[in-house]
A and B are shown apart, each in its own frame.
Chain A
Protein backbone atom coordinates (compact mmCIF):
# COMPACT_ATOMS: atom_id res chain seq x y z
CA UNK A 1 0.00 0.00 0.00
CA UNK A 2 2.12 2.86 1.20
CA UNK A 3 5.20 2.15 -0.81
CA UNK A 4 2.93 1.80 -3.69
CA UNK A 5 2.80 5.45 -3.18
CA UNK A 6 6.38 5.63 -2.10
CA UNK A 7 7.53 3.91 -5.25
CA UNK A 8 5.19 5.12 -7.90
CA UNK A 9 4.98 8.49 -6.30
CA UNK A 10 8.62 8.51 -5.33
CA UNK A 11 8.31 8.99 -1.60
CA UNK A 12 11.44 7.32 -0.24
CA UNK A 13 11.46 5.61 3.14
CA UNK A 14 13.83 8.23 4.52
CA UNK A 15 11.18 10.90 4.18
CA UNK A 16 8.46 9.71 6.57
CA UNK A 17 11.02 7.98 8.75
CA UNK A 18 12.99 11.18 9.35
CA UNK A 19 9.80 12.69 10.79
CA UNK A 20 9.12 9.58 12.88
CA UNK A 21 12.75 9.52 14.06
CA UNK A 22 12.64 13.15 15.15
CA UNK A 23 9.38 12.48 16.98
CA UNK A 24 11.02 9.58 18.81
CA UNK A 25 13.87 11.85 19.96
CA UNK A 26 11.55 14.69 20.97
CA UNK A 27 9.41 12.29 22.97
CA UNK A 28 12.46 11.26 25.00
CA UNK A 29 13.36 14.95 25.45
CA UNK A 30 9.84 15.82 26.60
CA UNK A 31 9.71 13.13 29.27
CA UNK A 32 13.29 13.91 30.35
CA UNK A 33 12.34 17.58 30.75
CA UNK A 34 9.29 16.66 32.78
CA UNK A 35 11.33 14.28 34.92
CA UNK A 36 14.00 16.89 35.59
CA UNK A 37 11.44 19.52 36.59
CA UNK A 38 8.65 17.30 37.90
CA UNK A 39 8.17 19.48 40.97
CA UNK A 40 6.73 22.18 38.64
CA UNK A 41 4.16 19.80 37.23
CA UNK A 42 1.37 19.91 39.81
CA UNK A 43 1.34 23.71 39.81
CA UNK A 44 1.54 24.08 36.01
CA UNK A 45 -1.09 26.44 34.66
CA UNK A 46 0.25 27.10 31.18
CA UNK A 47 2.91 29.71 31.84
CA UNK A 48 6.45 29.62 30.44
CA UNK A 49 8.96 27.23 31.97
CA UNK A 50 10.10 23.62 31.72
CA UNK A 51 6.57 22.14 31.91
CA UNK A 52 5.48 24.44 29.08
CA UNK A 53 8.56 23.36 27.13
CA UNK A 54 7.78 19.68 27.73
CA UNK A 55 4.21 20.24 26.57
CA UNK A 56 5.38 21.78 23.30
CA UNK A 57 8.04 19.13 22.80
CA UNK A 58 5.10 16.74 22.74
CA UNK A 59 2.64 18.82 20.70
CA UNK A 60 5.08 20.16 18.11
CA UNK A 61 7.96 17.72 18.39
CA UNK A 62 6.02 14.48 18.60
CA UNK A 63 2.42 15.05 17.52
CA UNK A 64 2.85 17.56 14.69
CA UNK A 65 6.10 15.91 13.57
CA UNK A 66 4.47 12.49 13.31
CA UNK A 67 1.29 13.88 11.79
CA UNK A 68 3.31 15.45 8.99
CA UNK A 69 5.39 12.33 8.36
CA UNK A 70 2.37 10.05 8.48
CA UNK A 71 0.15 12.16 6.26
CA UNK A 72 2.88 12.66 3.68
CA UNK A 73 2.92 8.88 3.40
CA UNK A 74 -0.73 8.00 4.03
CA UNK A 75 -2.68 10.76 2.35
CA UNK A 76 -1.43 9.98 -1.16
CA UNK A 77 -2.87 6.49 -0.67
CA UNK A 78 -6.22 7.87 0.40
CA UNK A 79 -6.35 10.66 -2.18
CA UNK A 80 -4.57 8.85 -5.05
CA UNK A 81 -2.39 11.91 -5.44
CA UNK A 82 1.39 11.95 -5.13
CA UNK A 83 3.35 14.30 -2.89
CA UNK A 84 4.09 17.18 -5.24
CA UNK A 85 7.52 18.17 -3.96
CA UNK A 86 9.90 15.94 -2.07
CA UNK A 87 12.25 18.90 -1.64
CA UNK A 88 9.53 20.88 0.10
CA UNK A 89 8.72 17.92 2.34
CA UNK A 90 12.38 17.65 3.31
CA UNK A 91 12.73 21.41 3.80
CA UNK A 92 9.77 21.39 6.19
CA UNK A 93 11.62 18.82 8.32
CA UNK A 94 14.82 20.88 8.31
CA UNK A 95 12.85 23.89 9.53
CA UNK A 96 10.64 22.06 11.99
CA UNK A 97 13.33 20.17 13.90
CA UNK A 98 15.49 23.18 14.88
CA UNK A 99 12.34 25.25 15.27
CA UNK A 100 10.91 22.88 17.88
CA UNK A 101 14.27 22.62 19.65
CA UNK A 102 14.69 26.41 19.83
CA UNK A 103 11.09 26.98 20.87
CA UNK A 104 11.30 24.43 23.67
CA UNK A 105 14.72 25.65 24.82
CA UNK A 106 13.47 29.24 24.85
CA UNK A 107 10.36 28.26 26.78
CA UNK A 108 12.33 26.27 29.34
CA UNK A 109 14.82 29.12 29.81
CA UNK A 110 12.13 31.84 29.96
CA UNK A 111 13.69 33.38 26.82
CA UNK A 112 10.86 34.68 24.60
CA UNK A 113 13.23 35.89 21.87
CA UNK A 114 14.63 32.39 21.40
CA UNK A 115 11.09 31.08 21.43
CA UNK A 116 10.21 33.62 18.77
CA UNK A 117 12.93 32.37 16.42
CA UNK A 118 11.78 28.82 17.01
CA UNK A 119 8.16 29.77 16.43
CA UNK A 120 9.07 31.42 13.12
CA UNK A 121 10.85 28.28 11.94
CA UNK A 122 7.96 26.10 13.07
CA UNK A 123 5.51 28.46 11.36
CA UNK A 124 7.47 28.26 8.10
CA UNK A 125 7.59 24.47 8.28
CA UNK A 126 3.86 24.27 8.94
CA UNK A 127 3.19 26.71 6.09
CA UNK A 128 5.13 24.49 3.67
CA UNK A 129 3.29 21.45 4.95
CA UNK A 130 -0.04 23.27 4.62
CA UNK A 131 0.68 24.00 0.96
CA UNK A 132 1.63 20.37 0.30
CA UNK A 133 -1.51 19.23 2.08
CA UNK A 134 -3.74 21.68 0.23
CA UNK A 135 -2.31 20.71 -3.17
CA UNK A 136 -2.82 17.05 -2.37
CA UNK A 137 -6.38 17.57 -1.18
CA UNK A 138 -7.24 19.73 -4.20
CA UNK A 139 -6.45 16.90 -6.58
CA UNK A 140 -7.89 14.17 -4.38
CA UNK A 141 -9.89 11.44 -6.09
CA UNK A 142 -10.56 8.77 -3.49
CA UNK A 143 -11.72 8.45 0.12
CA UNK A 144 -13.82 11.57 0.37
CA UNK A 145 -14.24 11.13 4.12
CA UNK A 146 -10.49 11.39 4.68
CA UNK A 147 -10.27 14.34 2.30
CA UNK A 148 -13.04 16.20 4.14
CA UNK A 149 -11.25 15.69 7.46
CA UNK A 150 -8.03 16.86 5.79
CA UNK A 151 -9.65 20.15 4.78
CA UNK A 152 -10.96 20.61 8.30
CA UNK A 153 -7.51 19.96 9.74
CA UNK A 154 -5.94 22.36 7.26
CA UNK A 155 -8.34 25.15 8.21
CA UNK A 156 -7.54 24.56 11.88
CA UNK A 157 -3.82 24.58 11.10
CA UNK A 158 -4.11 28.03 9.51
CA UNK A 159 -6.03 29.40 12.49
CA UNK A 160 -3.67 27.63 14.87
CA UNK A 161 -0.61 29.25 13.29
CA UNK A 162 -2.23 32.66 13.49
CA UNK A 163 -3.12 32.32 17.18
CA UNK A 164 0.29 30.82 17.97
CA UNK A 165 2.17 33.69 16.37
CA UNK A 166 -0.09 36.18 18.16
CA UNK A 167 0.73 34.54 21.49
CA UNK A 168 4.46 34.61 20.76
CA UNK A 169 4.16 38.28 19.76
CA UNK A 170 2.55 38.95 23.12
CA UNK A 171 5.39 37.20 24.98
CA UNK A 172 8.10 38.81 22.86
CA UNK A 173 6.76 42.31 22.16
CA UNK A 174 4.00 42.73 24.72
CA UNK A 175 1.30 42.93 22.06
CA UNK A 176 -2.05 43.55 23.75
CA UNK A 177 -4.60 40.78 23.24
CA UNK A 178 -7.06 38.73 25.26
CA UNK A 179 -4.47 36.21 26.36
CA UNK A 180 -6.90 33.72 27.90
CA UNK A 181 -9.16 33.65 24.86
CA UNK A 182 -6.26 33.32 22.40
CA UNK A 183 -4.63 30.62 24.49
CA UNK A 184 -7.87 28.63 24.72
CA UNK A 185 -8.49 28.97 20.98
CA UNK A 186 -4.88 27.98 20.23
CA UNK A 187 -5.19 24.88 22.38
CA UNK A 188 -8.50 23.78 20.87
CA UNK A 189 -7.35 24.42 17.29
CA UNK A 190 -4.09 22.54 17.83
CA UNK A 191 -5.48 19.51 19.63
CA UNK A 192 -9.11 18.85 18.70
CA UNK A 193 -8.68 20.78 15.43
CA UNK A 194 -5.50 20.10 13.49
CA UNK A 195 -4.27 16.95 15.22
CA UNK A 196 -7.69 15.67 16.18
CA UNK A 197 -9.33 15.94 12.77
CA UNK A 198 -6.32 14.32 11.09
CA UNK A 199 -6.39 11.50 13.64
CA UNK A 200 -10.14 10.99 13.28
CA UNK A 201 -10.06 11.14 9.48
CA UNK A 202 -7.11 8.80 9.04
CA UNK A 203 -8.57 6.45 11.66
CA UNK A 204 -11.57 5.83 9.43
CA UNK A 205 -9.44 4.00 6.89
CA UNK A 206 -6.18 3.20 8.69
CA UNK A 207 -7.57 1.37 11.72
CA UNK A 208 -9.94 -0.84 9.70
CA UNK A 209 -7.06 -1.56 7.35
CA UNK A 210 -4.77 -2.59 10.22
CA UNK A 211 -7.49 -4.70 11.81
CA UNK A 212 -8.69 -6.13 8.47
CA UNK A 213 -12.16 -4.78 9.13
CA UNK A 214 -14.78 -2.84 7.16
CA UNK A 215 -14.57 0.94 7.34
CA UNK A 216 -17.30 2.77 9.29
CA UNK A 217 -20.20 4.05 7.15
CA UNK A 218 -19.40 7.33 5.41
CA UNK A 219 -22.55 9.04 6.73
CA UNK A 220 -21.42 8.47 10.31
CA UNK A 221 -17.93 9.75 9.54
CA UNK A 222 -19.40 12.93 8.02
CA UNK A 223 -21.69 13.37 11.01
CA UNK A 224 -18.68 13.06 13.33
CA UNK A 225 -16.83 15.66 11.28
CA UNK A 226 -19.75 18.09 11.30
CA UNK A 227 -20.22 17.76 15.06
CA UNK A 228 -16.50 18.12 15.70
CA UNK A 229 -16.17 21.23 13.56
CA UNK A 230 -19.24 22.78 15.20
CA UNK A 231 -17.72 22.04 18.60
CA UNK A 232 -14.36 23.54 17.65
CA UNK A 233 -16.02 26.69 16.30
CA UNK A 234 -18.10 27.02 19.47
CA UNK A 235 -14.98 26.62 21.63
CA UNK A 236 -13.05 29.23 19.65
CA UNK A 237 -16.01 31.61 19.97
CA UNK A 238 -15.93 31.21 23.75
CA UNK A 239 -19.02 28.98 24.12
CA UNK A 240 -17.59 26.15 26.21
CA UNK A 241 -20.79 24.30 27.17
CA UNK A 242 -22.15 23.86 23.62
CA UNK A 243 -18.61 23.12 22.47
CA UNK A 244 -18.19 20.34 25.01
CA UNK A 245 -21.61 18.84 24.27
CA UNK A 246 -20.94 18.82 20.53
CA UNK A 247 -17.47 17.42 21.11
CA UNK A 248 -18.81 14.68 23.36
CA UNK A 249 -21.34 13.67 20.73
CA UNK A 250 -18.64 13.59 18.04
CA UNK A 251 -16.21 11.61 20.20
CA UNK A 252 -18.83 9.08 21.28
CA UNK A 253 -20.03 8.58 17.72
CA UNK A 254 -16.46 8.25 16.41
CA UNK A 255 -15.37 5.67 18.95
CA UNK A 256 -18.63 3.70 18.74
CA UNK A 257 -18.46 3.50 14.93
CA UNK A 258 -14.85 2.33 15.00
CA UNK A 259 -15.56 -0.21 17.73
CA UNK A 260 -18.41 -1.56 15.61
CA UNK A 261 -16.05 -1.76 12.66
CA UNK A 262 -13.39 -3.57 14.70
CA UNK A 263 -15.92 -6.11 15.92
CA UNK A 264 -16.58 -7.07 12.28
CA UNK A 265 -12.89 -7.72 11.59
CA UNK A 266 -11.86 -10.75 9.56
CA UNK A 267 -8.69 -11.45 11.52
CA UNK A 268 -9.38 -12.52 15.12
CA UNK A 269 -6.10 -11.20 16.60
CA UNK A 270 -6.00 -7.41 16.74
CA UNK A 271 -2.28 -7.38 17.46
CA UNK A 272 -0.24 -4.75 19.29
CA UNK A 273 -1.18 -1.13 19.47
CA UNK A 274 -4.95 -1.42 19.78
CA UNK A 275 -4.96 -1.34 23.59
CA UNK A 276 -3.26 2.06 23.37
CA UNK A 277 -5.74 3.19 20.72
CA UNK A 278 -8.66 2.21 22.95
CA UNK A 279 -7.15 3.94 25.98
CA UNK A 280 -6.69 7.02 23.83
CA UNK A 281 -10.39 6.99 22.90
CA UNK A 282 -11.32 6.80 26.58
CA UNK A 283 -9.03 9.78 27.27
CA UNK A 284 -10.60 11.73 24.39
CA UNK A 285 -14.10 11.31 25.83
CA UNK A 286 -12.85 11.98 29.37
CA UNK A 287 -11.02 15.15 28.30
CA UNK A 288 -14.21 16.62 26.88
CA UNK A 289 -16.10 15.47 29.98
CA UNK A 290 -13.66 17.38 32.17
CA UNK A 291 -13.97 20.41 29.87
CA UNK A 292 -17.73 20.29 30.36
CA UNK A 293 -17.34 20.13 34.14
CA UNK A 294 -14.99 23.11 33.98
CA UNK A 295 -17.48 25.05 31.88
CA UNK A 296 -20.20 24.29 34.44
CA UNK A 297 -17.94 25.23 37.38
CA UNK A 298 -18.21 21.69 38.69
CA UNK A 299 -14.60 20.67 38.14
CA UNK A 300 -12.21 19.60 40.93
CA UNK A 301 -8.98 21.39 41.81
CA UNK A 302 -6.31 21.35 39.08
CA UNK A 303 -9.02 20.48 36.53
CA UNK A 304 -7.13 22.34 33.80
CA UNK A 305 -4.10 20.14 34.41
CA UNK A 306 -6.23 16.99 34.38
CA UNK A 307 -7.89 18.18 31.17
CA UNK A 308 -4.52 18.83 29.52
CA UNK A 309 -3.21 15.43 30.59
CA UNK A 310 -6.20 13.59 29.21
CA UNK A 311 -6.06 15.57 26.01
CA UNK A 312 -2.37 15.63 25.02
CA UNK A 313 -0.55 12.61 26.43
CA UNK A 314 -3.81 10.77 27.13
CA UNK A 315 -5.61 10.99 23.80
CA UNK A 316 -3.27 12.27 21.11
CA UNK A 317 0.10 10.88 22.21
CA UNK A 318 -1.33 7.50 23.22
CA UNK A 319 -3.24 7.17 19.96
CA UNK A 320 -0.21 8.10 17.93
CA UNK A 321 2.06 5.66 19.76
CA UNK A 322 -0.46 2.87 19.26
CA UNK A 323 -0.66 3.56 15.54
CA UNK A 324 3.11 3.93 15.18
CA UNK A 325 3.57 0.51 16.80
CA UNK A 326 1.80 -0.84 13.74
CA UNK A 327 2.71 1.38 10.82
CA UNK A 328 6.46 1.64 11.46
CA UNK A 329 7.03 -2.13 10.88
CA UNK A 330 4.45 -2.12 8.09
CA UNK A 331 6.09 0.72 6.19
CA UNK A 332 9.57 -0.64 6.77
CA UNK A 333 8.48 -4.03 5.46
CA UNK A 334 7.10 -2.63 2.25
CA UNK A 335 9.94 -0.22 1.63
CA UNK A 336 12.45 -3.05 1.88
CA UNK A 337 10.54 -5.38 -0.42
CA UNK A 338 12.35 -6.32 -3.61
CA UNK A 339 12.30 -9.09 -6.16
CA UNK A 340 15.64 -10.40 -4.92
CA UNK A 341 15.00 -10.18 -1.17
CA UNK A 342 11.26 -10.71 -1.01
CA UNK A 343 9.07 -8.84 1.45
CA UNK A 344 10.18 -8.84 5.09
CA UNK A 345 7.54 -10.23 7.43
CA UNK A 346 5.94 -7.56 9.59
CA UNK A 347 5.99 -9.89 12.59
CA UNK A 348 9.76 -10.15 12.28
CA UNK A 349 9.94 -6.35 12.56
CA UNK A 350 7.63 -6.26 15.58
CA UNK A 351 9.47 -6.89 18.86
CA UNK A 352 6.40 -7.91 20.87
CA UNK A 353 7.98 -7.94 24.38
CA UNK A 354 9.53 -4.52 23.85
CA UNK A 355 6.23 -3.08 22.64
CA UNK A 356 4.39 -4.68 25.55
CA UNK A 357 6.91 -3.09 27.92
CA UNK A 358 6.47 0.27 26.24
CA UNK A 359 2.71 -0.04 26.57
CA UNK A 360 2.90 -0.78 30.31
CA UNK A 361 5.34 2.07 30.96
CA UNK A 362 3.34 4.58 28.95
CA UNK A 363 0.07 3.68 30.65
CA UNK A 364 1.77 3.73 34.06
CA UNK A 365 3.09 7.21 33.28
CA UNK A 366 -0.37 8.43 32.36
CA UNK A 367 -1.88 6.91 35.48
CA UNK A 368 0.74 8.38 37.79
CA UNK A 369 0.51 11.84 36.24
CA UNK A 370 -3.28 11.80 36.54
CA UNK A 371 -2.95 10.73 40.16
CA UNK A 372 -0.44 13.56 40.72
CA UNK A 373 -2.83 16.06 39.16
CA UNK A 374 -5.71 14.79 41.30
CA UNK A 375 -3.81 14.71 44.59
CA UNK A 376 -1.20 17.43 44.07
CA UNK A 377 1.55 15.00 45.13
CA UNK A 378 4.82 15.91 43.42
CA UNK A 379 6.37 12.48 43.99
CA UNK A 380 3.65 10.94 41.83
CA UNK A 381 4.53 13.38 39.06
CA UNK A 382 8.19 12.35 39.35
CA UNK A 383 7.26 8.67 39.25
CA UNK A 384 5.02 9.28 36.24
CA UNK A 385 7.72 11.21 34.41
CA UNK A 386 10.22 8.44 35.16
CA UNK A 387 7.85 5.83 33.74
CA UNK A 388 7.18 8.05 30.74
CA UNK A 389 10.89 8.50 30.12
CA UNK A 390 11.48 4.76 30.36
CA UNK A 391 8.56 4.20 27.98
CA UNK A 392 9.92 6.73 25.52
CA UNK A 393 13.32 5.01 25.62
CA UNK A 394 11.61 1.66 25.01
CA UNK A 395 9.82 3.18 22.04
CA UNK A 396 13.10 4.59 20.74
CA UNK A 397 14.60 1.10 21.05
CA UNK A 398 11.69 -0.30 19.04
CA UNK A 399 12.24 2.28 16.31
CA UNK A 400 15.98 1.53 16.22
CA UNK A 401 15.22 -2.21 16.15
CA UNK A 402 13.07 -1.83 13.05
CA UNK A 403 15.66 0.27 11.24
CA UNK A 404 18.49 -2.14 12.05
CA UNK A 405 16.40 -5.20 11.28
CA UNK A 406 15.30 -4.15 7.82
CA UNK A 407 18.81 -3.14 6.92
CA UNK A 408 20.25 -6.50 7.94
CA UNK A 409 17.41 -8.70 6.73
CA UNK A 410 17.85 -12.39 7.54
CA UNK A 411 14.23 -12.43 8.53
CA UNK A 412 12.85 -15.79 9.61
CA UNK A 413 9.29 -17.03 9.29
CA UNK A 414 7.27 -16.39 12.44
CA UNK A 415 6.37 -19.13 14.85
CA UNK A 416 3.54 -17.15 16.33
CA UNK A 417 0.72 -15.37 14.53
CA UNK A 418 1.74 -11.97 13.38
CA UNK A 419 0.02 -8.73 14.19
CA UNK A 420 -2.74 -7.93 11.74
Chain B
Protein backbone atom coordinates (compact mmCIF):
# COMPACT_ATOMS: atom_id res chain seq x y z
CA UNK B 1 0.00 0.00 0.00
CA UNK B 2 1.23 3.51 -0.84
CA UNK B 3 1.31 5.96 2.05
CA UNK B 4 1.15 9.71 1.53
CA UNK B 5 1.92 10.88 5.07
CA UNK B 6 5.52 11.07 6.23
CA UNK B 7 4.72 9.50 9.57
CA UNK B 8 2.95 6.54 7.94
CA UNK B 9 5.88 6.02 5.59
CA UNK B 10 8.38 6.21 8.44
CA UNK B 11 6.51 3.64 10.50
CA UNK B 12 6.05 1.45 7.44
CA UNK B 13 9.80 1.48 6.75
CA UNK B 14 10.48 0.45 10.33
CA UNK B 15 7.92 -2.34 10.01
CA UNK B 16 9.65 -3.63 6.89
CA UNK B 17 13.01 -3.61 8.65
CA UNK B 18 11.52 -5.44 11.65
CA UNK B 19 9.89 -8.10 9.49
CA UNK B 20 13.03 -8.65 7.43
CA UNK B 21 15.18 -9.09 10.53
CA UNK B 22 12.75 -11.33 12.40
CA UNK B 23 12.10 -13.34 9.25
CA UNK B 24 15.80 -14.18 9.27
CA UNK B 25 15.66 -15.02 12.97
CA UNK B 26 12.71 -17.33 12.45
CA UNK B 27 14.23 -19.06 9.41
CA UNK B 28 17.58 -19.54 11.16
CA UNK B 29 16.08 -21.03 14.31
CA UNK B 30 13.62 -23.18 12.38
CA UNK B 31 16.52 -24.66 10.44
CA UNK B 32 18.13 -25.64 13.76
CA UNK B 33 21.02 -23.23 13.27
CA UNK B 34 22.60 -20.98 15.86
CA UNK B 35 23.57 -17.38 15.07
CA UNK B 36 24.44 -15.38 18.21
CA UNK B 37 25.26 -12.26 16.18
CA UNK B 38 21.84 -12.33 14.55
CA UNK B 39 20.13 -12.68 17.95
CA UNK B 40 22.15 -9.75 19.29
CA UNK B 41 21.09 -7.67 16.33
CA UNK B 42 17.46 -8.72 16.87
CA UNK B 43 17.69 -7.79 20.56
CA UNK B 44 19.10 -4.34 19.74
CA UNK B 45 16.43 -3.72 17.15
CA UNK B 46 13.75 -4.92 19.52
CA UNK B 47 14.94 -2.55 22.25
CA UNK B 48 14.42 0.37 19.85
CA UNK B 49 11.04 -1.03 18.85
CA UNK B 50 9.86 -1.30 22.46
CA UNK B 51 11.30 1.97 23.71
CA UNK B 52 10.74 4.27 20.77
CA UNK B 53 8.27 2.86 18.27
CA UNK B 54 5.77 1.44 20.79
CA UNK B 55 6.01 4.47 23.11
CA UNK B 56 5.40 6.85 20.23
CA UNK B 57 2.34 4.94 19.08
CA UNK B 58 0.91 4.77 22.58
CA UNK B 59 1.53 8.43 23.45
CA UNK B 60 0.93 10.11 20.11
CA UNK B 61 -1.13 7.92 17.83
CA UNK B 62 -3.55 5.88 19.90
CA UNK B 63 -4.97 8.97 21.66
CA UNK B 64 -5.59 10.52 18.24
CA UNK B 65 -7.44 7.40 17.17
CA UNK B 66 -9.53 7.60 20.34
CA UNK B 67 -10.36 11.22 19.62
CA UNK B 68 -11.74 10.13 16.26
CA UNK B 69 -13.89 7.39 17.76
CA UNK B 70 -11.45 4.56 17.02
CA UNK B 71 -10.27 3.92 20.59
CA UNK B 72 -10.70 0.16 20.28
CA UNK B 73 -8.03 -0.10 17.62
CA UNK B 74 -5.54 1.59 19.91
CA UNK B 75 -6.63 -0.60 22.81
CA UNK B 76 -6.08 -3.80 20.86
CA UNK B 77 -2.67 -2.72 19.62
CA UNK B 78 -1.69 -1.54 23.10
CA UNK B 79 -2.68 -4.95 24.52
CA UNK B 80 -0.36 -6.55 22.02
CA UNK B 81 2.38 -4.08 22.97
CA UNK B 82 2.06 -5.25 26.57
CA UNK B 83 2.46 -8.90 25.60
CA UNK B 84 5.35 -8.20 23.20
CA UNK B 85 7.08 -5.95 25.76
CA UNK B 86 6.97 -8.67 28.38
CA UNK B 87 8.39 -11.36 26.07
CA UNK B 88 10.74 -8.85 24.45
CA UNK B 89 12.34 -7.68 27.71
CA UNK B 90 12.96 -11.29 28.68
CA UNK B 91 14.49 -12.02 25.25
CA UNK B 92 16.82 -8.99 25.44
CA UNK B 93 17.90 -9.97 28.94
CA UNK B 94 18.62 -13.56 27.91
CA UNK B 95 20.60 -12.55 24.82
CA UNK B 96 22.77 -10.34 27.02
CA UNK B 97 23.16 -12.56 30.06
CA UNK B 98 22.64 -16.17 28.97
CA UNK B 99 22.69 -16.61 25.18
CA UNK B 100 22.88 -20.39 25.53
CA UNK B 101 19.65 -20.65 27.51
CA UNK B 102 17.23 -23.33 26.30
CA UNK B 103 14.41 -20.83 26.76
CA UNK B 104 15.84 -18.50 24.12
CA UNK B 105 14.78 -20.38 20.98
CA UNK B 106 11.07 -20.80 21.82
CA UNK B 107 11.00 -17.25 23.11
CA UNK B 108 12.50 -15.92 19.88
CA UNK B 109 10.03 -17.93 17.81
CA UNK B 110 7.16 -16.62 19.90
CA UNK B 111 8.39 -13.06 19.46
CA UNK B 112 8.79 -13.53 15.72
CA UNK B 113 5.20 -14.71 15.45
CA UNK B 114 3.86 -11.93 17.64
CA UNK B 115 5.81 -9.25 15.77
CA UNK B 116 4.66 -10.53 12.37
CA UNK B 117 1.06 -10.60 13.50
CA UNK B 118 1.27 -7.19 15.15
CA UNK B 119 2.89 -5.50 12.18
CA UNK B 120 0.28 -7.03 9.86
CA UNK B 121 -2.45 -5.43 11.97
CA UNK B 122 -0.77 -2.05 12.05
CA UNK B 123 -0.14 -2.12 8.32
CA UNK B 124 -3.73 -3.04 7.54
CA UNK B 125 -5.50 -0.77 10.01
CA UNK B 126 -3.40 1.76 11.88
CA UNK B 127 -1.41 3.21 8.99
CA UNK B 128 -4.34 3.48 6.55
CA UNK B 129 -6.33 5.17 9.30
CA UNK B 130 -3.55 7.68 9.91
CA UNK B 131 -3.77 8.60 6.25
CA UNK B 132 -7.36 9.65 6.92
CA UNK B 133 -6.92 11.28 10.32
CA UNK B 134 -3.66 13.18 10.03
CA UNK B 135 -3.50 16.42 8.03
CA UNK B 136 -0.29 17.94 6.69
CA UNK B 137 0.35 20.07 9.75
CA UNK B 138 -0.17 17.21 12.16
CA UNK B 139 1.92 14.99 9.92
CA UNK B 140 4.82 17.40 10.25
CA UNK B 141 4.42 17.61 14.02
CA UNK B 142 4.23 13.85 14.43
CA UNK B 143 7.21 13.22 12.19
CA UNK B 144 9.25 15.79 14.07
CA UNK B 145 8.21 14.29 17.39
CA UNK B 146 9.15 10.80 16.25
CA UNK B 147 12.52 11.69 14.81
CA UNK B 148 13.58 14.09 17.57
Residues in A lying within 8 Å of B, measured CB to CB? 1, 3-5, 7-8, 77, 80, 141-143, 205, 209, 212, 215, 266-269, 330, 333-334, 337-339, 342-343, 345-347, 413-418, 420
Interface residues of chain A: helix, strand, loop or mixed (majority): loop
Query: Chain A residues near B50 (CB, 8 Å)?
Result: none
Query: Chain A residues near B72 (CB, 8 Å)?
Result: 4, 7-8
**Docked CA distance A141–B16 (Å):** 24
- Contacting pair A268 B109 (CB below 8 A): no
**Residue B58 lies at the interface, judged by CB distance under 8 Å to chain A:** no
Q: Could you say which of A215, A267, A330 contacts B19, with CB atoms under 8 Å apart?
A: A267
**Docked CA distance A82–B1 (Å):** 21
Interface residues of chain B: helix, strand, loop or mixed (majority): helix
Known contacts A8-B71, A212-B120, A345-B110: A80-B76 contact under CB 8 Å: no
Q: Could you say which of A1, A209, A212, A413 contacts B106, with CB atoms under 8 Å apart?
A: A413
- Contacting pair B114 A345 (CB below 8 A): yes
Known contacts A342-B79, A346-B117: A269-B110 contact under CB 8 Å: no
- Contacting pair A3 B76 (CB below 8 A): yes
Q: Could you say which of A1, A205, A338, A345 contacts B121, with CB atoms under 8 Å apart?
A: A1
Q: A345-B114, A347-B113 are in contact. List 9 more A-B contacts (CB 8 A).
A: A4-B72, A4-B121, A4-B125, A7-B72, A268-B27, A269-B27, A414-B109, A417-B27, A417-B29
4 closest A-B pairs (Cβ-Cβ)? A7-B72, A418-B113, A8-B72, A413-B110
Query: Chain A residues near B117 (CB, 8 Å)?
Result: 330, 333, 343, 346
- Contacting pair B70 A8 (CB below 8 A): yes
- Contacting pair B116 A212 (CB below 8 A): yes
- Contacting pair A8 B69 (CB below 8 A): yes
- Contacting pair A413 B107 (CB below 8 A): yes
Query: Chain A residues near B116 (CB, 8 Å)?
Result: 212, 267, 418, 420
- Contacting pair B128 A80 (CB below 8 A): yes
Q: List 14 A-B contacts (CB under 8 A).
A: A4-B72, A7-B75, A7-B76, A8-B73, A77-B124, A142-B131, A205-B124, A215-B1, A266-B19, A339-B82, A345-B110, A346-B113, A413-B110, A416-B109
- Contacting pair A142 B113 (CB below 8 A): no
How close is A278's CB to chain B, nearest CB, in angstroms? 21
- Contacting pair A4 B30 (CB below 8 A): no
